[in-house]
Amino acid sequence: MAGTWSEVWTLYLILALGTPDPSPAPQEKLHDFRRIFLGLDKCNACIGTSICKKFFKDEIRFERWLTAQSNLSSADVRSYEGNYTDSTAGWRPLVLSRLMSPPLQQISDNSICTSAGKGKSCSIEAVLRATSRFQRWVRSNLLLPIMVKGLVTPMLSCPSQRLLDRIVRRYFEVTDVGSVQMKHFSEKDKLRLLYTLAVNQQPLIMQMFPGTEGWPFLRYHGSCGRMMVWAGSKPLRSLFSSPLERRADIAYQLLHITQSLSSNSLQFSLFYTNISEDMFGTLDDSRVFIVDTTTIGIIDLQEGYPPDEDLLTEHLDVFSCLSGSCERPPPCETVRAAQSFILLCKHVINNLLVPNDVQSGHLPKEAVSALAICADQSQSDQRIIAAAQTLKDILQTLRPCSALYGYRYPECLYSDKF
């Protein structure tokens, strides 16, 4: 990777602002460019600042400097590939992603100003601070269900107190993590958390259910302004033309992940509200992870959820549409037990297991029949879940045991459980 981090930033600045002169002014422009690119100029209507030092200490670098991705201010680019290092390891791949696409972000920001009659230009933070919703946050040391009513992110479709406590306890954009109380939150901390809840749940899901505790989510490194950073992975779609044994292993993992999300020791049922291949990725050891958590809903199986009620007008405010949509997720009581399996089988596994696999004699016909039932929403939940288990059992017999599958090798040599 050619050049130092400061040289690269200077290159970006030259592209954006013209050739620098030898006066101190370009350094100031460079600093301003960094702040604007990262979204620091919009804080505290942002995610946080937990990883900003890594950017400025040359420990996070962007990949593919001289490709289309090199135009960092492009209106079409939402995420970037990069590399991360620290004092204990070499460079590791990561993803740097904005909360939303730049055009959608601009629309969202404009809506904040127009909601206060300010036209299209205003102090976004000042407008959000003045809302009755945020003033309720300021007065409370607990995150209560009433404080998130009207927000449209899927995980808040039926929030229990236990779920909201977990959000606060795992929120590491503040210095003191681990308490369900928000006494140690400053007003800016509260605004950042509220803004994140309203716009994009991705960083919060990754913090609440970390991969280090066995959850199928990539490691979340932190945020800087409106940029969030997590571990990199290979797109799932890049493996669709792989040999059947590789695809069978992926399909098996996807079914296992989906089962574990709905049934786990924490008694939180995580379910898909929408799905695509781009939602998943793999690491070098062939382990499958969920890389996009924006469409995951959560039901608290321990506390349950109150009956869905029509939202009163008082709960609908500027925060309700900041994500780019004002559409509420379906009520939790309408979520089928087999919903995640239906979506997974129909939109992902159907692309992994193809008719040629049966014709070649490598995939049992029973697997195709089970997949068809799993993807058929007209079937009963019980039959769909049973078909998903049947398909998983068949796929397990097709999974190879080799060093290519490092996430379960060499254990698979000694036990059928791996």
Residue 166 is which amino acid?
R
Q: Are 113 and 120 in contact (CB under 8 A)?
A: yes
Residue 242 is predicted with a pLDDT of 92
171 within 8 A of 207, measured Cβ to Cβ: yes
Instruction: Indicate the residue type of 199.
Output: V
Question: What's the rounded Cα separation, in Å, for the pair 165 and 302?
Answer: 14
Crossing angle for the helix pair 161-169 and 187-199, to the nearest 10 degrees = 120
Helix axes 365-374, 381-398, angle to 10 degrees: 140
CATH superfamily placement of domain 233-307+333-417: Transferase(Phosphotransferase) domain 1 (1.10.510.10)
What is the pLDDT, as a whole number, of residue 17? 36
| The predicted structure's pLDDT at residue 145 | 94
The model's pTM is 0.88
- From the list 255, 220, 230, the residue with the least C-alpha distance to 353 is 255
What CA–CA distance (Å, rounded) separates 53 from 36?
A: 16
CA 332 – CA 154 distance, rounded (Å)? 10
For tokens 């800087």, the residue is 224
Task: Give the start-to-end residue ranges of the domains of the chain.
Answer: 233-307+333-417
Q: What is the pLDDT of residue 325?
A: 84
State yes or no: cis peptide before 203, omega within 30 of 0.
no
Assign residue 147 a region (left: φ > 0; alpha: ψ between -120 and 50; beta: otherwise).
Answer: alpha
Cα separation, 307 vs 372, whole angstroms: 33
Amino acid present at 322: L
How would you write the pLDDT of the chain (418 residues) with one tens digit per residue? Answer: 444 444 444 444 333 333 444 444 555 655 667 788 889 999 999 999 999 998 888 788 876 543 434 455 555 678 888 888 876 778 889 999 999 999 999 999 999 999 999 877 899 999 999 999 999 999 999 999 999 999 999 999 999 999 999 999 999 999 877 889 999 999 999 999 999 999 999 999 999 999 999 999 999 999 999 999 999 999 999 999 999 999 999 999 999 999 999 999 999 999 999 999 999 999 999 999 999 999 999 999 999 876 666 544 457 899 999 998 888 888 888 999 999 999 999 999 999 998 888 877 789 999 999 999 999 999 999 999 999 999 999 999 999 999 999 999 888 888 877 7
Report the length, in residues, of the chain.
Answer: 418
